[in-house]
Amino acid sequence: MALVNMRTLNLMRSTLVGDSAEAAGGLSAPRRGAVRRLLAGPIVDLMVGPHGIDRYLELISPTLTLHEPRAQVLAVTRQTARTVTLTVDPNRAFTGFRAGQFVRVGVEIDGRRYTRTYSPTISEHDLRSWRRPPVWPRRPEDHPPLLEFTVTVREGGVVGAYLREHAAPGMLLHLSDAAGAFILPECRPDHVALISGGSGITPTIAMLRTLIAEGHRGQIDFLHYGRGAADWLYRPQVEAIAAAHPNVDARFIATREGGERFCAGTVAADAHVLVCGPPSLIDAVRAAHPEASAETFTPPTLALGAGAGAATGTVSFLASGHSAPISPGTLLEQAEAAGLTPQYGCRMGICHGCSCTKVAGTVQNILTGELSTEEDQEIQICISVPVSDVALAL
């Protein structure tokens, strides 16, 4: 109970700090609120119709949008050989996140926008507590706590490789609202175990930082599995936290160098376990802690009912002129097997990066079981399987 109170207290404090900052800003803060309200109001909406206020504000500055969450890259660091860490300044349309959630991040590469999902790695309170100072004049102390993403370069991936190579201060990112159910319980448990593998550290570092910001007094076990020391993300930051907080126990394990695998007893049985990483790690953790909350960054395996799995027929890719008999797997996999290179993002139904028009036929969403029978529907091909002959605009 004491812990919950502590967190509430922190939230209250941050609200108060925000208010006092606004008061210190004199008249400018309330006036600014009025301007924003006016700009987002119905009269201005008519005046800037049909395009909307954001289409004009973005021409003054790309992050001035009222409705579209966007961010500008402020700093770029490269923690490891296969990652890049972006410190970004989100605009006010970005409404915050809970530690462990993800944000869909859009990046423009050669005229095309690609969208990927990344988890912010800062404490969830950093963004919440902060109120944007007046647009002008900007004082150095107005500098906001910034959002941070760490992007891993994947084999054959477009966005990771591009960001690692080309990300630079000033670059514009398109954000979405945060989403995802992989979060700390509202009532913080006494003993928390944060376990991650590879890039799965991004949500767990946010959780660790959030708990520290809340003054969490219970035990925190932070376990990270990476290929080797050269691939460990956030090691100095985690070790600094562990050094300053005796209740934090941090361990980095090199899986390629014979590091000990996760097994029963690695963390105490009474711990509240949160795990993010490859399916093998999640399986190992779940074997010892069946109620652990987990998130994987790899696609779910296909578990089809007899109906959908038994479908026979042809998938036609109209734009490229290819076609192939229906095979097991998602439409995205079938397109790739047919030699196409369709766009994709998360490959697990989150980001809509692979959405394309299904011109004809019936497909089933393997996540929801939902059937799509209409013609000309936008579908997510990474989570759709054909139930009949299907024609895609690919």
Partner 1 sequence: MPITYGDLTPEQVQTLGHELDAIRNRVRAELGQADLDYIRTVIKAQRGLEVSGRAMLELGWLAPLWLGGTAALALSKILDNMEIGHNVMHGQYDWTNDPALNSQTFEWDTACPAEQWRHSHNYMHHTFTNILDMDRDIGYGILRMSEEQRWSPYFVGNLLYATLLMLLFEWGVAVHDLEVEELFSGSKSIADKRDMLKAIWRKGGRQALKDYVIFPALAGPGAPLTLAGNATANIIRNIWAFSIIFCGHFPDGVQEFSKAEAANETKGEWYLRQMLGSANITGGRLFHILSGNLSFQIEHHLFPDIPARRYAAISTEVREICERYGLPYNAGPLHRQLGSVFLKLARLSLPWIGNSPFNRSYRRPTRRPADVAVTVPAAATREPVAV
For binding to partner 1 (CB under 8 A), which residues are involved? 43, 46-47, 49-51, 55-56, 59, 106, 108, 110-115, 318, 343
**Nearest Cα residue to 36 out of 91, 99, 102, 76:** 91
Phi-psi map region of 188: left, alpha, beta (phi>0 left; psi -120 to 50 alpha): beta
Torsion of CA 10, 15, 20, 21, to 10 degrees: 100
- Nearer of residues 10 and 323 to partner 1, judged by Cβ: 323
Minimum distance between the CB of residue 380 and partner 1, rounded to whole angstroms?
14
Query: Which ranges in the chain belong to alpha helices (H)?
Result: 2-24, 28-39, 42-47, 54-60, 124-128, 159-166, 201-213, 235-244, 279-288, 306-309, 331-337
Residue from 205, 207, 196 nearest 276 by CA: 196
Residue whose CB is less far from partner 1, 298 or 357: 357
- 131: closest CA among 10, 21, 11? 21
Q: How far is the CB of 114 from partner 1 (least distance, A)?
A: 7
CB of 344 to partner 1, least distance (A): 12
DSSP state of 179: B
Q: Which is nearer to partner 1, 55 or 261 (CB)?
A: 55
Question: DSSP class of residue 261?
Answer: P
H or E stretch at 222: strand 220-226
Nearer to partner 1, 112 or 139 (CB): 112
**47 or 181: whose CB is closer to partner 1?**
47
Q: Which is nearer to partner 1, 343 or 388 (CB)?
A: 343
Q: At what angle do helices 2-24 and 28-39 cross, to 10 degrees?
A: 90
State in angstroms the smallest separation of the CB of 65 from partner 1: 10
222 versus 317: smaller Cβ distance to partner 1: 317
Give me the amino acid identity at 141. E
Q: At what angle do helices 235-244 and 201-213 cross, to 10 degrees?
A: 30
HSE-up of 251 (CA within 13 Å, CB side)?
Answer: 17
CB of 54 to partner 1, least distance (A): 8
Nearer to partner 1, 38 or 287 (CB): 38
Distance CA 118, CA 107 (A): 12
Paired tokens of 88: 């970004």
Nearer residue to partner 1 within complex by CB, 345 or 349: 345
Report DSSP state, residue 132. Answer: P
Q: Provide the minimum distance between the beta carbon of 9 and partner 1 in the complex, in angstroms, as a whole number.
A: 41
Nearer to partner 1, 200 or 353 (CB): 353
Neighbours of 34 (CB within 10 A): 9
Least distance between partner 1 and beta carbon 68 (Å)? 8
Least distance in angstroms from the C-beta of 346 to partner 1: 15
CA distances from 185 to 124, 151, 200, 221, 296 (A): 13, 26, 19, 16, 18
CB of 50 to partner 1, least distance (A): 4
Beta carbon of residue 107, minimum distance to partner 1 (angstroms, whole number)? 10
